[in-house]
Structure 1
């Protein structure tokens, strides 16, 4: 018998999307961000990320194929999402995950966990040994056992990330190029990979 990834109590104590966003806004009002590391740089990234999330909340249009696939999902799933307010990739992806869950009619519920407050969870889902986020862990809602996981970013963006990292670019240039890709892609790659994930369930 597979072991539950989290206890029922811990899952119930997680953030909803709404409470996650409210937490970030409240910290921003104090000039802070999520996590133990605090700096003006991270606070500025978070401010940008709030704008990104707000824009995506209003503009994400789910692909017809994704909606059709979602309609075939009958079994309930809990999506455990590991994130942080300062993470630019999370800002580009988390609103899409939430939009998919909202469109599921209750079949999929979302549960947000801050990475640095839940390192025991994060360390089960490392990417090449790193604590890359966002990370989606799909759980069977009844047993809380892992079905599959996804993240931290679509394959094309991940390859771009690795290529840029290999060039040792200054972070600003690195970040500009990566977010430029997200802007051009308009969530299509994330949605396509989530469609494939849903088909595999």
Structure 2
């Protein structure tokens, strides 16, 4: 069993390295989402009207988060003191509502320290990578993988949403059997009230800060 687990982890590391090498930086990803929004397109295998509308909505959401997100001075100091070289590898799609709230926060963390890089890959173009980081057997996105470039190992993973929002979704599914537009609206209200603090706290907890 130990040898099997070691082989699985080695394969994951290989996939992460490949994802990092071919991934987009955040600016390129934002340009891509904006282009899709402007031209009424979407990423992913499903080019439904709903996904096109979500992509347009997410473009506006990320623009707002990019401008308004604040990080406390104390946390900025901690993040800026990170000495290890890290890469945030994010698996996502332009239509993903949870990603629209969390990716600007990931980018803000990366901007605070030149030792932290950020790369983005699209899920439906990288199924082997996605399947190495399932959430309870599901291809849920966004999925963040924190990779230590010096040690060449996976430090941690996060996603698709913060713990409190995940609890909201789990409880709703148990009661109603499926997700509805009403729940999605409740989630947006929660994200806006939280102001990114839960996501920030959970992702920073994955980093080897002093």
TM-score higher than 0.5 here? yes
Any idea what the Cα deviations from partners look like across 1:115-174, whole Å, max 9, x if unmatched?
A: 111111111111111111111101112454312111111111111111122232662101
The secondary structure found in structure 1 opposite 2:15 is coil
CA distance in 1, matches of 2:186, 2:116: 33
* Paired residue secondary structure (1:167): helix
Worse-matched range after superposition: 3-12 or 142-151: 3-12
- Alignment deviations for residues 17-50 of structure 1 (CA, whole Å, 9 cap, x no partner): 1111111222223321010101111111111111
> Quick check: 1:70 aligned with 2:79?
yes
Does residue 155 of structure 2 align to residue 182 of structure 1? Answer: no
- Look up the match of 1:107: 115
Describe how 1:6-45 pairs up with structure 2 within 5 A. 6=15, 10-45=19-54
TM-score w.r.t. length of structure 2:
0.87
Alignment of 1:15-164 (within 5 A): 15-104=24-113, 106-142=114-150, 144-164=152-172
CA distance 1:139–1:7, shift in 2 (3 Å): closer
Cα distance change, pair 200–102 in 1 and its aligned pair in 2 (3 A)? closer
TM-score (ref. length: structure 1): 0.91
Root-mean-square deviation (CA, aligned residues, Å) is 2.0
Counting matched residue pairs gives: 200
3-state SS, counterpart of residue 88 of structure 2: strand
Match of 2:174 among 158, 166, 173: 166
Is the partner of 1:81 in helix, strand or coil?
strand
- Structure 1 portions without partners, runs of 5+: none
Answer whether contact 1:7 1:144 (CA < 8 A) is retained. Answer: no
Label 1:139 to 1:108 Cα distance change in 2 as closer, same or farther (>3 A): same
Segment drifting more, 134-143 vs 156-165 = 134-143
Spell out, residue by residue over 1:42-63, the C-alpha distance to the aligned partner (whole angstroms, 9 max, x if none).
Answer: 1111111111100000011113
How far did residue 5 of structure 1 move?
3.4
Larger deviation, residues 51-60 vs 189-198: 189-198
